[in-house]
Structure 1
Amino acid sequence: MAEPGDVLSNLGGDNAAMGNGADNQPVAGLLSQYVKDLSVENPKAPDSFQWKEQPQLDVQFNIGARKVNEELTEVELKITANATTGQGTAYIVELSYGGLVGMRNMPEEQKHAFTYAEAPRILFPFARRVIADAVRDAGFAPLLLDPIDFNGLYIQQLQQKQAQEAATTPPAGEA
């Protein structure tokens, strides 16, 4: 039990103007995650299990986002994996893996970065497991996707967009 006079005071410190318990600090986090859509095709089974040729893999990624309300955004990883050989398609796996992200008290550029870089980084290991399990359940060795540097890709795409905008914007005074 606290002794008399042993009381915390000035909890706000230099931030006393914010008030005790004020909800004005930036916060972002993943609230839930889920398989939105999963399709597994094994069109040549059981013949494909006898093929000796190593399949060629084509893996495609896409990140989408949809604002649910002021504080909630759905982030969706879409992953398609095709395995083909000279004899045909061994398997096709298409996954749409979603996450509900909450963001509050953040500037728009931080929300954008969290939506397209950090949230996919958090979701990817779970989507990767779903893909591996789906391929294994189709009768093949699990497909273990390599880790992806979502932050690096995000920065690269921002730089490309800025370069494109700079190339299409006439210099000042030439309009």
Structure 2
Amino acid sequence: MAENGESAPAANGEATNPQQTQVQMRILAQFIRDLSFENILSQKGITGEVKPQIQVQVALDAKKRGAPNNYEVSTKYTVTSKNQGGDDTLFMLELDYAGLFHIEGVPEEQLHPFLMIECPRMLFPFARRIVSDMTRDGGFPPVNLDTVDFVTLYRQQLALRAQQQQPEQQPS
């Protein structure tokens, strides 16, 4: 940058724009919208050898809030533990964890992927901790969720939506 505050020329001779819009993201709040833990093992009194098998489902949702540039992003986790080799459910945990975000500088065509990938990525460590604490406090070894690949999850949701929007073809 030149000393007088003007932009310095780039290597190709063109001036760079120091006022270029930068992405700004602030987490205004994060909260548990809904939390449910059901210890089915203790309710039903399942006997015999218990070998838990964990299944995790993740769903995402985002919506615009009333204030300018404010969005609410919700991550929903369903963690189910079944006894390996049987159909007995040991426990079920459902967590709806949300965050309120203030986002500026993201082009409109990139906003949806940003909301569905970057925002959940920021919320994930907190949701992971809640799942771990709830399963431990529920009488089971703590479940430490593997890192979620939100990019792949976003692509899968797009593909599923595209598939659902295609008109069903009648067999000939």
Query: Judging changes above 3 Å, is the alpha-carbon distance between structure 1 residues 157 and 92 closer, same or farther for their aligned structure 2 residues?
Result: closer
Task: For residue 127 of structure 1, report the CA deviation from its aligned partner.
Answer: 0.6
Task: For residue 146 of structure 1, report the CA deviation from its aligned partner.
Answer: 1.1
Query: Distance in 1 between the 2:4 and 2:55 partners?
Result: 61
Going by fraction, where is helix more abundant, 1 or 2? 1
Aligned length: 156
Query: Judging changes above 3 Å, is the alpha-carbon distance between structure 1 residues 154 and 46 closer, same or farther for their aligned structure 2 residues?
Result: closer
TM-score by length of 1: 0.72
Mapping 1:112-123, distance limit 5 Å: 112-123=112-123
Deviates more, 1:45-54 or 1:73-82: 45-54
Cα deviation code 1:103-159 (max 9, x no counterpart): 123212221121001111111121111111100000000111111111233245446
Aligned to 1:9: 4
Aligned to 2:12: none
Which residue identity is paired with 2:101?
Answer: V
Larger radius of gyration: 1
Query: Distance in 2 between the 1:102 and 1:125 partners?
Result: 19
CA contact (8 A) 1:42 1:91 kept: yes
TM-score by length of 2: 0.73
> Can you give the 5+ residue segments of structure 1 that lack an aligned partner in the other structure?
1-7, 169-175
Percentage of pairs with the same residue? 37
> Can you give the 5+ residue segments of structure 2 that lack an aligned partner in the other structure?
9-14, 168-172
- Give the CA RMSD over aligned residues: 3.0
Aligned-partner SS, 1:45: helix
